Structure 1
Amino acid sequence: MARQVYGVTTMFSVGTIVIVLVTLLIGFAGGFILRPVIAPMQQADVDTFTSPVAPASSQARGTQYFMSHIDEARQVVAGCRDGTVRGGECANAEEAIIKVDAEERRRRFLGN
């Protein structure tokens, strides 16, 4: 049921608007209070709880590393084919080789 207020037709009564605003205010306040419980810890917070020991070398090197060290990437891929290298480095090294080769082909094609 529409109602005229100051010449403007409104669908909501003032009481409904007040209830909506109070509900939103309570929701925002609850969100800010419960955020530490709901949200995961930031990386900086996690680092403060871990020991200052360097990360283990067993972590796989990334694609960007292998793109910078393409000869090493080719050695890792050869080791993966032989079965001497296993893990995430195989996929990262192969992806780096594909990207570098594609970039070289693009440069040759465009004449850069």
Structure 2
Amino acid sequence: MTQGKTLIIVLIALIVGFGTGLVLRPVIIPAPQTAAVASPPLAAPAPAEARSTQYFAAHLDEGRRIVADCAQGTVRGNECANAEQAVTEADGRDRFKRFLGK
């Protein structure tokens, strides 16, 4: 007899829980809003490829400017790494030449 009562209570609790979930679903997870678009969206311009380390080695002033911009956060991506590598290598060569006395 107690097993029958327990089963009925569990079934009622499940029905109430599922019913509440179905009723409150729009409140908990609102339906996504769709916007009518009159014209197709404009395509974003393709990002230009990052300049290579060799480019920045040949143009150290621009490489230093890019490294400074990267530190400020205005430039991002592979170009930052390439410019930093070229500037670091150039500075290392200069330090080595000064160390040797040349």
TM-score normalised by structure 2 residue count: 0.52
Instruction: Show structure 1 runs of 5+ residues with no match.
Output: 1-55
* Aligned residue pairs, count: 57
d(CA) in 1 for partners of 2:47 and 2:85? 21
Identity %: 56
Instruction: Identify which of structures 1 and 2 has the higher relative contact order when contacts are C-alpha pairs closer than 8 Å and 6+ apart.
Output: 2
Query: Which residue pairs with 1:75 in the alignment?
Result: 65
TM-score normalised by structure 1 residue count: 0.48
Q: Report the aligned-residue RMSD.
A: 1.4
d(CA) in 1 for partners of 2:64 and 2:78? 15
Q: Which has the higher strand share?
A: 1
d(CA) in 2 for partners of 1:86 and 1:109? 34
Cα displacement string for residues 52-111 of structure 1 (whole angstroms, at most 9, x for unaligned residues): xxxx77101111110111110011011111111111000000001110000001111111
Q: Max radius of gyration: which structure?
A: 2
Instruction: Show structure 2 runs of 5+ residues with no match.
Output: 1-45
2:78 pairs with 1:88: yes
In the TM superposition, structure 1's runs of 4+ consecutive aligned residues that sit over 6 Å from their partners are: none
